[in-house]
Chains A and B, each alone.
Chain A
Amino acid sequence: MNRWNHILAALLFAVPVLASARPAQAAGGVWLQRHDLPAAARAALYSAVSAEKARNPSAFEAVAQIKGCTLAGYSQTRLGKPLCGRELRVGKGEWLLPLLSALALQEPRAANGHVPYATAEERQAFAAGAIEAVGLLRDERAREVLHAAFTVAPAGQMADNAAEALGRLGGDRELATLVQSAKTPVRLQSALRGLGECKRIEAAKAIALGLAAAKSPNEVTLWANAAGRVASSWAWQAMVRAAPARATEASDVRTVAARALAEAMATTVDAVAVEELVQALQMTEHPQAVAMLAEVRGKTAPAHHARFAMASQRVADYLKRN
């Protein structure tokens, strides 16, 4: 292969990747460039990272050594594509600052010079996994980085992951960002990924309103999915176990979501959207879900009753399953 062929091959490979990836910046991290983060936030993060690096350098080394986004790592997986979010979760809170540093300040590099990705695709996969891992920690120190990550992310997986991370963080600012973003068609999907993870009654109410106003089967599907996740009975059981005082909120969220889903069944005929409504209702495991469906069914024309019968049966069967 001569030099021109090398260049051509590199361009052919790079173009589709760069369409969704952000270019590497010497002065930035794997996802955020220097100017993406407000100066004060950047300075604060730099300070915290420096202190942590001095205190616990092995955490930074460990993050730089993960394998799932290297060919040697993902060639062993069944998917065969770079994927390292699960691996980046292993360090839990100890890896928060190394991950924030990698995302916003400085690309990860091991002491021996090793970088945990090589191609643009691998680099983006690392960034996606890092954002997700950070989000799952629900640590307020990540707030500025996650907001910036969501702001700069084009629609797609990076935006979805950043939105979910914001939702998990779950403060007023995050909720407002997600609700506002849901009003923009290009951001709708990502915003709903985030709202579904925002386990608050305000999020549930926003989703209920959005579901009622959804204009297309695709929109119904997206809103319904968010409703099911925000009201996930299993997630709420875990939260109530950890904080029993949230029991009332859990009940309220599940009720708001279940009622909205039942109401949406009245006007939804698209098979994919109906299926999503059913599955979301199952996610709520609301004890009154079948009754809610019956109530809404009573307001609809007979032509719609078969759909309600199917949904009621599916939800009832799911609720009674051992």
Chain B
Amino acid sequence: MRNPFLATFCACLAATALGGCVPASNTPAGGAPDSGLAEVAVAADGAKTGGDATAAPDVPVIDPKIPVVDLVVDANRDGVAKFDDPGDQDHETTFDQKFGAVFLPNLDDDDQDKLEDWFDDKVNGNEDALDLAPIVVRPWPAAPEGTKGKIVIDKPELVRVWTKVDGEWGLLAGSFGSCDKPENCTTLGEFEFQADWLRTGIELRIEGKQLRMSKAADAWSGDVEIKLSVTLPDGKPAANKDAPDGTDTVKMRVAAWLLLGNLHDHDKWRSLRYGKSSSSYPFNADLDAAASQLAGKAVYETYESSSYADRWTQDFYQTGVVQMPGPGGKPQGYRMYNARPFYNAGGQTLPIIWMRKALLGQDQAILAVYKKPNSGTSYDSHGNHDLVPPYVNAKGDFHHGRIVTGSGVLPETWDWYDAQRVQGPILKLDSSWLIVGHIDEFSSYMPAKTPRGWKLMVGDNKMAKGMFEKAQADGFGKAKVFVGRQGFVNNKQASLEQTVDDVLVNKDILQWSQEADVKVAANVVKMKAEFEMNDDEIVSMPFLTEAEGSKKVAWQPGTVNCLVIGDHAMIPKPFGIIIDGVDVFEKDLLDRLGSAVHGLGSDGGGMKIKFVDDWYGYHINLGEVHCGTNPEMGPSAKLSWWDIAR
């Protein structure tokens, strides 16, 4: 019990079980609550801001003898709970596109002690206080001595309610203790207070302990109901015309987790860092060069294999954001990384364990949605989970994007995605025909200056085959692909170079490529129908495919499997047909994607393309650039998910 404020409430806990907690001094720890407010915003120090209710010019003068029974939340989502704002007052129990209060699950680690902030019974500094959502008990300056107030919370096991007394935060209700084990957790669903608190009003703050985890009927809906009751000295309800039974109830909803996609304003991406003598180092070198081009917009952060020996950075965690409305239109929240259930072959620790060390921190949270460690399959790697950029049509409003996955994802993950109520229902594609089984092997998205604002990129075997045929028809049948590329065997001593003529008589490569082509086409049919998309909104990324057993993987570097940051596209270097010193596949991508041909980029003038040599580090190991990188961003007004209420 580190917080002296709690000493008083420890007694309250026992007293509550016997019929209610009424501190002998009438105020916890002997102080008066820091209140007396007309409005409460979340200031940097976690203290109240705002004016005096009695001084507010547009508040009608009311008879001081009429009881004030008023609980206020930030229902109008301006980051402030105000008595005199109809937006807050009139919508305190609703949640729709315009109104409804939000609170954060306090899962980041602002004091950087490697524990989630909700986990201890204290507010972990000013940054942590910002993550608490305001609830205000409006002052009743003339509350007679003997008047009592009571706050009841319907889901106390999932939240914590705080107030500040004499400059110190104290826990009033909700779950107490670390709750790492049931015996370490105590739940208090209500607390009472005396007239002196009512007279000054009370500034409360609420934090959640978890996100909404499931949409099952018996799972938590994500909503919390908080009820204020006031009784007069004679025990009767302190009634007024708005609260004839002497009570006022508000509802709040826990913030949703938003999955991030290609069109978000990423400010960072990560990958593994190789030693300069490694054959994989060109991957880093090319991304370093891309980072230079993105200076001021996004940074490239790397980790060493000694920290975590998994090069598939896209796969072992998913990036996202959790946020609530904040003052001044600036949302409050943090980045949240969702862990894959298993570690890579030969790995020593689950991703979540590394993530706790490396990612959990100030304004950064981690999460494990899976039910059992080491469950799941390759489909649960996050390269198989993506976000379709925003679109709205007759079939649905997806203006915060739509989560898309391939085959076979763990049911709890799909359930959790949909439980967020913002980027679902999930679009499920067929990725079962791939060796690795990830949708990023055949689909991606880039910004475009079109009414939709983006285009769908798809792997296109047919186009690749056509490029080989054209080279042959143009007399370049002896031109080679994979020039200088070696692979697989005995320190890569086997050359993989092939001529165009070789490729075009290779019935296996061509059949496998065609099998992949019809599989991609089937997925495109589904996406076109869902997105109500025209053919000119689909951009081909050519490469041929190979197989092992009946499953497929990119034979040429899978150029669709790219990293997109703003108008920059980091595309696997194709090592395509070289004619007169020019890589035909590179030139095609530069000509089409890097120009106005497809209207890509925010200005329609094309993407800024950087080819990344991922051959040895990724391509021959069944992946490409997207698989080896993971972009992210923090809270943003563009992620104001509460404007979708489902």
Please give the residue numbers on chain A whose beta carbons come within 8 Å of chain B beta carbons, in ascending order: 62, 65-68, 71-72, 74-81, 83, 85-87, 90-91, 128-129, 132, 136, 157, 160-161, 193, 199, 228-229, 232-239, 241-242, 275, 278-279, 282-283, 314, 317-318, 321-322
B627 and A78 contact, CB distance less than 8 A: yes
Task: Please give me the residue from chain A that is nearest to B488 by CB atom.
Answer: A87
A2 to B573, CA, bound (A): 52
Task: Please give me the residue from chain A that is nearest to B514 by CB atom.
Answer: A234
Which of B344, B488, B494 contacts A80 (CB under 8 A)?
A: B344
Counted as pairs of residues, one from A and one from B, with CB atoms less than 8 Å apart, the total is: 129
B550 and A160 contact, CB distance less than 8 A: yes
A234 and B510 contact, CB distance less than 8 A: yes
B488 and A85 contact, CB distance less than 8 A: no
B549 and A132 contact, CB distance less than 8 A: yes
Contacts of B514 in A (CB 8 A): 232-235, 283
B311 and A67 contact, CB distance less than 8 A: no
Stretch touching chain A among B7-15, B125-133, B328-336, B518-526: B518-526
Contacts of A275 in B (CB 8 A): 522
A235 and B490 contact, CB distance less than 8 A: no
Task: Please give me the residue from chain A that is nearest to B494 by CB atom.
Answer: A90
B1 at the interface (CB under 8 A from A): no
| Highest count of chain A CB atoms <10 Å: which of B511, B521, B546 | B511
Chain B nearest CB from A1 CB (Å) reads: 17
B489 at the interface (CB under 8 A from A): yes
Chain B nearest CB from A17 CB (Å) reads: 15
A314 and B488 contact, CB distance less than 8 A: no
B504 at the interface (CB under 8 A from A): yes
A75 to B347, CA, bound (A): 8
The 8 A CB mask of B274-309 against A (1 = contact, 0 = none) is 000000000000000000000000000000000000
Q: A62-B489, A66-B488, A68-B488 are in contact. Are A129 and B548 (CB under 8 A)?
A: yes
Task: Please give me the residue from chain A that is nearest to B381 by CB atom.
Answer: A78
A275 to B346, CA, bound (A): 39
A61 to B490, CA, bound (A): 9
A68 to B435, CA, bound (A): 14
Q: A75-B347, A321-B462 are in contact. Are A65 and B519 (CB under 8 A)?
A: no
Contacts of B438 in A (CB 8 A): 78
The 8 A CB mask of B510-541 against A (1 = contact, 0 = none) is 11011100110110010000000000000000
B546 and A66 contact, CB distance less than 8 A: no
Task: Please give me the residue from chain A that is nearest to B466 by CB atom.
Answer: A322
Chain A nearest CB from B267 CB (Å) reads: 26
Contacts of B463 in A (CB 8 A): 322
A157 to B551, CA, bound (A): 11
Q: A67-B488, A232-B511, A318-B521 are in contact. Are A242 and B505 (CB under 8 A)?
A: yes
Contacts of A80 in B (CB 8 A): 344-345, 378
Q: A83-B435, A90-B496, A132-B549 are in contact. Are A78 and B623 (CB under 8 A)?
A: yes
Q: A238-B507, A314-B525 are in contact. Are A71 and B346 (CB under 8 A)?
A: yes
The 8 A CB mask of B344-358 against A (1 = contact, 0 = none) is 111100000000000
Chain A nearest CB from B551 CB (Å) reads: 9
The 8 A CB mask of B474-507 against A (1 = contact, 0 = none) is 0000000000000111100010100000001111
Task: Please give me the residue from chain B that is nearest to A63 by CB atom.
Answer: B489
Q: How large is the interface on B (under 10, 10 to 19, 20 to 34, 35 or more residues)?
A: 35 or more
A239 to B505, CA, bound (A): 6
Please give the residue numbers on chain B whose beta carbons come within 8 Å of chain A beta carbons, in ascending order: 311-312, 315, 344-347, 378, 381, 383, 435-436, 438, 462-463, 465-466, 487-490, 494, 496, 504-508, 510-511, 513-515, 518-519, 521-522, 525, 546, 548-550, 553, 618, 621-623, 627
Chain A nearest CB from B342 CB (Å) reads: 8
B489 and A282 contact, CB distance less than 8 A: no
A81 to B315, CA, bound (A): 15
A115 to B534, CA, bound (A): 54
Which of B345, B494, B510, B627 contacts A237 (CB under 8 A)?
A: B510
Task: Please give me the residue from chain A that is nearest to B469 by CB atom.
Answer: A237
Contacts of B487 in A (CB 8 A): 87, 90
16 A-B contacts, Cβ less than 8 Å apart? A68-B488, A78-B315, A79-B378, A79-B622, A86-B553, A132-B548, A199-B507, A235-B507, A235-B510, A241-B504, A242-B505, A283-B514, A283-B515, A283-B518, A317-B521, A321-B462
A238 and B345 contact, CB distance less than 8 A: no
A77 to B347, CA, bound (A): 12
A282 to B510, CA, bound (A): 14
Chain A nearest CB from B597 CB (Å) reads: 14
A67-B488, A86-B488 are known contacts; what are 13 more A-B pairs with Cβ within 8 Å? A65-B490, A66-B488, A75-B347, A80-B378, A83-B548, A91-B489, A128-B549, A232-B510, A238-B505, A238-B507, A238-B511, A282-B518, A283-B514
Chain A nearest CB from B547 CB (Å) reads: 9
Q: A132-B548, A234-B514 are in contact. Are A279 and B622 (CB under 8 A)?
A: no
Chain B nearest CB from A160 CB (Å) reads: 7
Which of A65, A66, A234 contacts B465 (CB under 8 A)?
A: A234
A-B residue pairs, 3 tightest by C-beta: A75-B346, A235-B511, A80-B345
Contacts of A233 in B (CB 8 A): 514
Chain B nearest CB from A75 CB (Å) reads: 3
A83 to B546, CA, bound (A): 14
B511 and A78 contact, CB distance less than 8 A: no
Chain B nearest CB from A242 CB (Å) reads: 4
Contacts of A76 in B (CB 8 A): 311, 621
Contacts of A91 in B (CB 8 A): 489, 494
A314 to B522, CA, bound (A): 9
Chain A nearest CB from B557 CB (Å) reads: 14
A90 and B489 contact, CB distance less than 8 A: yes
A78 and B621 contact, CB distance less than 8 A: yes
Chain A nearest CB from B430 CB (Å) reads: 9
Chain B nearest CB from A127 CB (Å) reads: 12
A78 to B496, CA, bound (A): 21
